[in-house]
Amino acid sequence: MTAPEHDLLSVVSIRADADLVWHAWTRPERVTAWFAPEAVVEPRVGGAFELYFIPGNRSSMNTRGCRITALAPPAPAAPGVLEFTWRAPDEFAELMNGPDELTHVRVLVCSEDDGGAQVEVTHSGFGHSAAWQQARAWHAMAWDQALGSLKQALETGAGELCCLPD
C-alpha cells in the first residue's frame, strides 16, 4: 500500500495471531502494556481513543478527546480496521491540536500465512509547511517506536512504553 506524499506509513510483522494484535489496540489494559501507561479505549465508533503518556496527568502529553471513527475486527478474508483522530504531543499542540487540525490514524491488522499478523499504520492529515514537516518527522519516529514496542510486547511479553517524556 502506498500513502499520499505527506502521509506516514509504518508497517511491522508480528509473530502473534491477528486477534491478539487486534486486542492489543482495542482493549485499554492491553494498550497500556505497549503504548502508554494510561489509556481510555472504548471499542466502538464514536468511542474514546485516549492515551495518557504521563500517569495521572490529564492536561498535557495525551490524546484526550480523540475518537474512534471506524472499527471492524479482523475476519478470515478481511483485515481488522481501526481508525481514530489524533492529537499531537505538546510541542506540536498549536499546529495540530485545534478542533479542525486533528490528524487521522488508520490501523490495519492483517493475518499472515505463517499465523502471524502484519500491522499497517497510516497517519494522515499533515500539512506542507516546515513546522508540519517537523511534526511529521517526529511522528514517523514515534510510530516506529510504538510498533516496535507492540511487536516486543506480543512476542516476548514485555513491551517498552513509547513516547514517554524525559
Q: Can you give the CATH number for the domain in which 84 is found?
A: 3.30.530.20
Q: Which domain holds residue 139?
A: 8-156
What is the reported pTM? 0.89
Q: Which residues pair with 119 in a beta bridge?
A: 12, 109
Residue 20 lies in a domain: yes
Per residue in 113-155, pLDDT (tens digit) is 888 999 999 999 999 999 999 999 999 999 999 999 999 999 9
Residue written as cell 511522528?
139
How many domains would you assign to the chain?
1
Q: How far is it, in rounded angstroms, from Cα 33 to Cα 152?
A: 10
Task: For residue 97, give the DSSP letter.
Answer: -
Residue 161 lies in a domain: no
- 3-state SS assignment for residue 156: helix
What is the number of residues in the chain? 166
